[in-house]
């Protein structure tokens, strides 16, 4: 019985081998450019940076924003999309590049040779941590439902019922 299973498996493999060889030769002849993959990876890193940035302003040829209390400019310099101060290159070999703000999304539009690309990179409204919290950080007054839970006494926090 095992011999019959082994022979059946071998016959199935022999019948599928020519189909697999055709599939491999077809996919090997497909044109593939690594520059598009590298561009997508670098734009993904740029999106991560812009996600935590604030005070974003998109112009036609530059995107300015603040990150960790420093001001940054993203613009095209010598056929490259560069974040400065410093030098962090996101796209290389760019013939033309500009930024567009449509609704609440900022797009980078660029051309490399004869191909044109348009990618969403950030939200125009920005990301503010204050919009996720209803706590006032400027004073110690409790917000919302926290006010009735505890109150301050001379010896520390006590429960409202006096215990």
Question: Exposed, middle or buried by CB within 10 Å (0-12, 13-18, 19+), for 31?
Answer: exposed
CA neighbor of 108 nearest in space, from 48, 61, 55:
61
Question: pLDDT tens across 39-54, in order?
Answer: 999 999 999 999 888 8
Both tokens of residue 119?
Answer: 């990618």
Centre a 10 Å sphere on the Cβ of residue 57 and count the other Cβ atoms it contains.
Answer: 14
C-alpha torsion 140→143→149→154, nearest 10? 20
- 148 vs 90, higher pLDDT: 90
- Mean pLDDT computed over every residue of the chain: 83
Structure confidence at residue 127 (pLDDT): 58
Query: Count of residues for the chain?
Result: 163
Question: pLDDT tens across 6-16, in order?
Answer: 999 999 999 99
pLDDT over 90, % of the chain: 58
What is the pLDDT confidence band of residue 117, given thresholds at 50, 70 and 90? Answer: very high
Both tokens of residue 20?
Answer: 């697999």
Instruction: Give yes or no for residue 131 having a pLDDT over 80.
Output: no
H or E stretch covering 45? helix 34-51
Which residues are paired to 16 by β-bridges? none
């Amino acid at each position: 019985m095992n011999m019959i299973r082994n022979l059946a498996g071998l016959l199935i493999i022999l019948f599928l081998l020519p189909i697999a060889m055709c599939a491999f030769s077809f996919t090997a002849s497909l044109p593939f450019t690594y520059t598009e993959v590298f561009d997508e990876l670098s734009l993904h890193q740029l999106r991560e940076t812009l996600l935590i940035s604030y005070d974003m302003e998109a112009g036609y040829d530059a995107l300015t924003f603040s990150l960790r209390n420093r001001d940054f400019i993203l613009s095209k310099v010598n056929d490259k999309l560069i974040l400065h101060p410093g030098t962090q290159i996101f796209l290389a070999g760019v013939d033309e590049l500009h930024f567009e703000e449509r609704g609440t999304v900022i797009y980078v539009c660029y051309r490399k040779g004869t191909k044109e690309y348009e990618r969403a990179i950030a939200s125009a409204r920005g990301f503010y941590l204050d919009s996720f919290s209803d706590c006032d950080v400027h004073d110690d007054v409790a917000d919302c439902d926290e006010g009735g839970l505890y109150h301050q006494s001379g010896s520390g926090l006590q429960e409202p019922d006096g215990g």
